[in-house]
């Protein structure tokens, strides 16, 4: 009789452990994409979506790809862009790197912030990973530890994956490893808010970021100057923005910029054959 309660407790603890090691009910991955010269090719998007697999915890997370509309000065690319969309629709059906992915199509050009707003309306998890179509993850991180840190510490509001070595720059300011509250992963404090790939609570966008974007402008050109001015007045204002870089001072980059505006398909890279 005494064994059964022990076995039951073991099963309960095992289920709790498995649950705690899954981010599927906590994190949604949002990839933003827009018209670029290489369309209708999907090669770059396939490469960057595949790179998400370097973070194993992303495996079962819900995913969204949001397609911005076409700016008026790029209407000459509309045919290629429409073919690109059809190619991605096929990838979502056949390519495992696009599994569990919802596609959202903006009816007009919105720029990144407002396109993300369209995507956020479909998010049901408390946290999001915002990923741009021309950023490739090049080394793994502890995503579970990061989300646990953000759950336990409300001062961690925006954690960026860096595409350069972690160090002081004109953009990031005087970076340091000061963290108010718990963190289970290495983080570097910065005033350099950036729309490069990052983690944050969904409500951070809904309640803080979107309210500051009044026009179709790059988010970082609005938020970063606000933060820089606020922190120059008082370093304690950092709590308002809660921006950090994943990693310690001196750490190497986690993402690489493929630069969609200049991307040219690489013949030696095998991707799903386009049907357009």
Report pLDDT for 21: 64
pLDDT over 90 (residue 190): yes
Other beta carbons less than 10 A from residue 212's beta carbon = 11
What is the rounded average pLDDT of the residues 141-151? 98
The order of strands in the sheet holding 27-33 is 101-105, 63-67, 27-33, 127-132, 198-201, 158-160, 243-246, 187-189
3-class SS at 163? coil
DSSP 80-131: HHHHHHHHHHHHHHH-GGGTTEEEEE-SS--HHHHHHHHHHTT--SSEEEEE
Full-model pTM = 0.90
Q: In this predicted model, what pLDDT tens digit does every residue of 47-102 receive, in sequence order?
A: 999 999 999 999 999 999 999 999 999 899 999 999 999 999 999 999 999 999 99
Identify the DSSP state of 252. Answer: P
DSSP run (H or E) holding 64 = strand 63-67
Nearest to 66 by CA among 1, 97, 10, 111: 111
Map out the domains of the chain with their CATH numbers: 23-262 (3.90.550.10)
Q: In this predicted model, what pLDDT tens digit does every residue of 241-265 receive, in sequence order?
A: 999 999 999 999 999 999 999 999 9
Report pLDDT for 273: 53
For residue 194, give Cα distances in angstroms to 81, 221, 223, 267.
Answer: 27, 8, 8, 32
pLDDT over 90 (residue 210): yes
Other beta carbons less than 10 A from residue 196's beta carbon = 19
């Amino acid at each position: 009789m005494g064994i059964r309660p022990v076995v039951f407790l073991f099963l309960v603890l095992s289920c709790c452990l498995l649950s705690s090691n899954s981010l599927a009910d906590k994190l949604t991955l949002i990839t933003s994409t827009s018209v670029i010269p290489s369309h209708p090719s999907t090669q770059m998007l396939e490469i960057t979506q595949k790179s998400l697999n370097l973070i194993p915890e992303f495996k079962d997370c819900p995913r969204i790809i949001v397609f911005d509309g076409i700016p008026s000065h790029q209407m000459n690319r509309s045919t290629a862009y429409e073919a690109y969309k059809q190619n991605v629709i096929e990838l979502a059906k056949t390519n495992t790197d696009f599994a569990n992915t919802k596609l959202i199509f903006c009816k007009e050009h919105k720029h990144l912030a407002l396109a993300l707003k369209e995507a956020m309306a479909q998010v049901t998890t408390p946290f999001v990973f915002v990923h741009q179509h021309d950023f490739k993850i090049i080394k793994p991180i502890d995503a579970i530890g990061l989300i646990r840190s953000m759950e336990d510490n409300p001062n961690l509001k925006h954690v960026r994956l860096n595409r350069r070595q972690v160090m002081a720059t004109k953009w990031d300011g005087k970076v340091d490893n000061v963290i108010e509250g718990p963190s289970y992963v290495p983080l570097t404090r910065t005033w350099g808010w950036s729309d490069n790939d990052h983690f944050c609570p969904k409500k951070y966008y809904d309640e803080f970021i979107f309210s500051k974007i009044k026009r179709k402008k790059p988010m970082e050109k609005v938020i970063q100057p606000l933060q820089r001015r606020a922190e120059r007045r008082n370093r304690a204002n950092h709590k308002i923005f809660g921006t950090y870089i994943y990693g310690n001072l001196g750490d190497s980059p986690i993402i690489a910029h493929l630069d969609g505006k200049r991307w040219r398909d690489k013949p030696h890279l095998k991707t799903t054959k386009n049907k357009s």
